[in-house]
Each structure stands twice: as C-alpha cells, then as structure tokens.
Amino acid sequence: SQTIHQWPATLVQPVGSPLSLECTVEGTSNPNLYWYRQAAGRGLQLLFYSVGIGQISSEVPQNLSASRPQDRQFILSSKKLLLSDSGFYLCAWEGQGLLGYTFGSGTRLTVV
C-alpha cells in the first residue's frame, strides 16, 4: 500500500535560518507531489507541485523553493526564514485517477 512520510513533525527556527523539510512516498512510482502551507486558522495554500524528477512548478512567489531529487522524494527549502513562513506544511501525493490527495502528517513550523 502507498504511504507518505513527512518530517520533522514540529520545528522551531529563528528568523534568517535555513529550512529543509522532506517528504517521501512509498508504494508508488512517478507520483505527482505537492507542498501546501496552512497558516493558523486559514485554508490550504498550494506552494509547489512536481510531476517528476527535477520538475517543479511554483504557485506563489515567496521565500521558499522546492526540489525533487528522486522519484519519491520532495524537499521544501528556504535559505533565510521569515516570520511569515510560520505555518503547517503539508506534503501530498495524488492518488490514481481522480481520487484526490493523500496528505502526510505535516510539519508545524514556528519561526521566532
């Protein structure tokens, strides 16, 4: 069966520090992968999506970047965090056909 792993679960980082969040998927090949951010009390904002290795599409210009170095690995990064980067970061992969997404357990990032 397919599973999606995301880590770390929580993270507290100072302003100006770098960020690296990792997401891996098991049990499927060539999945479409997505990074979303959810600010406190807000909806889900699509940040990046990837349809294959090295293929990244950015939805919103921001302080973040994404990479897909391997088929089942999706990484979200920042060189210098801002206070506004705080939020709940969710990785998702697209099921077969039009079955919606399966989300990872998320990373709660607090920038202080």
What residues make contact with another protein under the rule CB under 8 A?
Answer: 32, 34, 36, 42-44, 46, 49, 51, 59, 90, 94, 98-106, 108
Tell me how far, at minimum, the Cβ of 91 lies from another protein, in Å: 9
Which is it for strands 101-103 and 87-94: parallel, antiparallel or unpaired? Answer: antiparallel
Q: Which is nearer to another protein, 78 or 107 (CB)?
A: 107
Q: What is the DSSP string of 66-86?
A: EEEEETTEEEEEESS--GGG-
- Chain-centroid distance of CA 41 in Å reads 19
Instruction: Choose between 17 and 57: whose C-beta lies nearer to another protein.
Output: 57
Whole-number Å distance between alpha carbons of 40 and 43? 9
Minimum CB distance to another protein smaller for 14 or for 41: 41
* Least separation in angstroms between CB 79 and another protein: 26
